[in-house]
């Protein structure tokens, strides 16, 4: 039997699959409630901010032929409510499920405040979201400058006890420099990539398909870019990578491992299959057995360039 278990800082995963941040909300979406979440490797929660956010104007989601556009805008009830009303009930229901809480902010102080609040909750790791393209302040603006990334990561790392995974934006010229800055500051891992800032237009109305105009592009269309960036970062930075970008079948997962990822997150595939992670885990074991691979960890970074 092929080993699918993956051990990362703060995380012991029974398989390398987890829903990407926002996909399952706080474990309270219809998709999240459609099956036993214990069958996941882990769950990444929706990004939490200091105060409640209502998000961007509707429509917030647009399904394209080769991807998904979104401009949700980090809708959440605020850090205090997330801890008491979201995380605590989720932990009570799933005491052994690895939980990664996602941190957002409009300033470094915001990030620290949110991280400290979430750090006190029964979670296993923190994802520091410095890459959301759908907010006017914070988000991606913190993830495009190496000095800022290093400062933010360093400050947060010193204030929390759980491992931190810095979520990188692809909307940069040199993602390796950003990853190196996070590593210098003490990050325990990286999460990559977030969505690409894009624009889709409805020809009939001559208006953007999203209420906020521009938004984040995810799905199959961005996969080659995600693989390229993960490969480049893995060559230069010695940190585990949670890889994502249009994963919809077992071979996609294997591609991400070969490029350098140590586990994967799935987002857009859930629009077609709410139990995508569950089904992908089953497919993955069979695919690896056909390849003669006994341990999925052996594939990390083993692309034959």
Catalytic residues, which ones?
Answer: 132
For 67, the 3-state DSSP assignment is strand
The structure tokens listed for 234 are: 């893995």
**Residue 144 DSSP code:** S
Q: Helical H runs in the chain?
A: 79-81, 88-93, 108-119, 146-159, 175-184, 223-236, 250-259, 276-291
Which residue reads 């959440």 in tokens? 76
Antiparallel, parallel or unpaired: β 263-266 and 17-19: parallel
> DSSP readout, 168-229?
PPS-SS-HHHHHHHHHHTT-SEEEE--PEEE--EETTTTEESBTTBSEEEESGGGHHHHHHH
102 CB neighbour count, 10 Å cutoff: 27
Phi, psi of 114 (to 5 degrees): -65, -45
């Amino acid at each position: 039997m092929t080993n699918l278990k993956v051990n990362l800082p703060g995380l012991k995963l029974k398989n390398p699959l987890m829903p990407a941040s926002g996909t399952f909300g706080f474990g309270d979406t219809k998709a999240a409630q459609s099956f036993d979440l214990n069958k996941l490797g882990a769950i990444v929660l929706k990004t939490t901010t200091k105060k409640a956010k209502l998000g961007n104007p509707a429509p917030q989601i647009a399904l394209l032929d080769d991807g998904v556009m979104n401009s949700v805008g980090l809708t959440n009830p605020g850090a205090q409510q997330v801890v008491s009303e979201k995380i605590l009930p989720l932990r009570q229901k799933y005491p052994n499920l690895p939980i990664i809480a996602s941190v957002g902010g409009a300033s470094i102080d915001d990030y620290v405040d949110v991280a400290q609040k979430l750090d006190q909750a029964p979670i296993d790791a923190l994802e520091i979201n410095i890459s959301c393209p759908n907010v006017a302040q914070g988000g991606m603006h913190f993830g495009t400058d190496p000095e800022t990334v290093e400062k933010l990561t360093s400050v947060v790392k010193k204030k929390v006890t759980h491992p931190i995974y810095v979520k990188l934006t692809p909307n940069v010229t040199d993602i390796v420099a950003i990853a190196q800055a996070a590593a210098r500051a003490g990050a325990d891992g990286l999460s990559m990539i977030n969505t690409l800032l894009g624009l889709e237009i409805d020809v009939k109305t001559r208006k953007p398909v999203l209420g906020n105009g521009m938004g984040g592009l995810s799905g199959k269309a961005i996969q080659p870019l995600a693989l390229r960036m993960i490969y480049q970062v893995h060559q230069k930075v010695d940190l585990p990578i949670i890889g994502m970008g249009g994963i919809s079948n077992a071979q996609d997962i294997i591609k991400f491992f070969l490029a350098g990822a140590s586990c994967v997150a799935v987002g857009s595939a859930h629009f077609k299959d709410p139990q995508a992670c569950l089904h992908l885990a089953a497919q993955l074991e069979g695919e690896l057995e056909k390849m003669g691979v006994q341990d999925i960890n052996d594939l990390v970074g083993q692309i034959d360039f």
